[in-house]
Structures are given as C-alpha cells and as structure tokens.
Structure 1
Amino acid sequence: MEQLTNKEEEVMQALWSLEKAFVKEIVAALANDNHYNTVSTIVRNLEEKGFVSHIAYGKTHQYFPIITKDAYAKRFMNMATKRYFNGDYKNMVSFFAKEEKISATELREILALIENPE
C-alpha cells in the first residue's frame, strides 16, 4: 500500500465519510475550494494506487473506498512510528506525554486497554 499525499488523504477522508460518491459529491464534501477536474484526477490516482474503485453508470463513475480507514490508519501509524520513533511505541507515547498531548488519565485508560483487551 502506497503512502498518500495530503490531497489524496483529504479525498479519502471524504470518501470514507460518504462511503460512495460521484466526483461532484466529493468536491462538495471537501473543506477547501477544490476544482472538479483536480478532484477527478486525484480520485483516478487513488484508483490506480488501489485505494478506490468505481461503479460505472454510462460515462459517470461512482467511487467507493476499497481500503478501510482503520486499515490505512494502522499502516500510517506503523510507518510514522518506525520513521520518527525507531519503531518504539514507548518512545512515541513518551513524546506525546512530554508534549502534553496525552494526560495521565488517558495513559491509565490505555494501560487498562492493554491489560484487558476485549
């Protein structure tokens, strides 16, 4: 699975939310002012990368994600952990604790999840 560009990830976020959509619906769901042709090109690139497929209705295509958001998040987090924390999740959690992005209460909740996975 290839890494997505920021724009591709933005389009995927819209598609994950919409579940299936025509390009004009994706354009409408995006926060920024994106041109139809630009979004259409991005969607076709996503299809080539294996993230999206489509159903054809004549000349019109309705797109849908074939990679789940959870599957992409797992891959992205694994890659980021390897790249920035040498694959050490303890270092990653320590980083967020030092940056005050995670509280002691949240750490206890994570520990409870680790000790009692369900």
Structure 2
Amino acid sequence: MNELKELTKAEEQIMQQLWEMGGGFVKDIMEQLPEPKPAYNTVSTIIRILETKGFVGHEAFGKSHRYLPKIQKEEYKKLITGKLLHNYFNNSATSMLSFFLEEKKMDVKELDEIMQIINKNR
C-alpha cells in the first residue's frame, strides 16, 4: 500500500464514523453524521476517495456496497501525532506537553495520570 496521507476534514469525519461503526453502507454512515447532513452523493464521493487512498475497502451486495475501514484508527493516530510533533514541536514531546499545559488543555488530574504512565514505563 502507498504511504498514508493526511485526510481532509470531510474525509476524517467519514472515517471517524466508519471506525466507530466498524463499517456500513452510505445511508448508515449518513445517519450517524451531525446536522446539517451532507448530500448522499457527497458522502458517496468522499467514500470513493477514501477507497482510492487505501483507507476504505468494500463488500459488494448486488449494486450496493458495504464500506469497511482498511486502516485502523490507531495507525492513523500515529501518523497524525507524529506529524504534529515533527511539524509544530521539533520532535519534542516535552515542548508539546508544555504547550498543552500552558494552553490549559490539560488539567492537574491528567498530568497526574501522565506521571503514573511515565513511572510505570521506567
């Protein structure tokens, strides 16, 4: 398979639904999307793009297709966090953690949980 590419916001929204559902038909995916819902053809086109990018596969049921994630959420999460760390924090997890603390995106309880993880992995 080709190297994983970052998804657009619309593609990521569809993938989030597919990961949560484990797969589904276009109508099933649409039911899960928030209002205002995109047009059926829009969702169908995005899914075909995701299939071209290697993120989605399908099972054929006559003329209908049930779409399934080919890339697991964890794999995509690694790609995105790696790019975030590299592009915005010079590959420094310390800088990234500092940023989240300074921006109040993390509270003391979460920091304690991180310290427990650090201590566990020493």
- Shorter-chain TM-score: which interval? over 0.9
User: 1:21 is paired with a residue of what secondary structure?
Assistant: coil
Q: Determine whether 1:20 maps to 2:13.
A: no
Q: Which residue of 1 aligns with 2:86?
A: 82
Partners of 2:110 and 2:32 lie apart in 1 by: 32
Q: CA deviation at 1:105?
A: 2.7
**1:57-68 map, 5 Å:** 57-68=61-72
Give the AA of the match of 2:44: S
Structure 1: segments with no counterpart, 5+ residues: none
Partners of 1:47 and 1:61 lie apart in 2 by: 12
Partners of 1:65 and 1:47 lie apart in 2 by: 9
TM-score normalised per structure 2: 0.91
Identity rate, percent: 44
Partners of 1:47 and 1:114 lie apart in 2 by: 38
Partners of 1:15 and 1:107 lie apart in 2 by: 31
TM-score normalised per structure 1: 0.94
Q: CA deviation at 1:68?
A: 1.0
Greater Cα shift, 99-108 or 47-56: 99-108
Partners of 2:28 and 2:73 lie apart in 1 by: 19
1:46 to 50, 56, 64: 50
Give the AA of the match of 1:86: N
1:115 to 97, 119, 122: 119
Task: Please give the root-mean-square deviation of Cα atoms over the aligned residues, in Å.
Answer: 1.0
* Residue-pair matches, total: 117
Give the AA of the match of 2:84: A
Any idea what the Cα deviations from partners look like across 1:19-51, whole Å, max 9, x if unmatched? 110011111111131100000000000011111
Give the AA of the match of 2:34: A
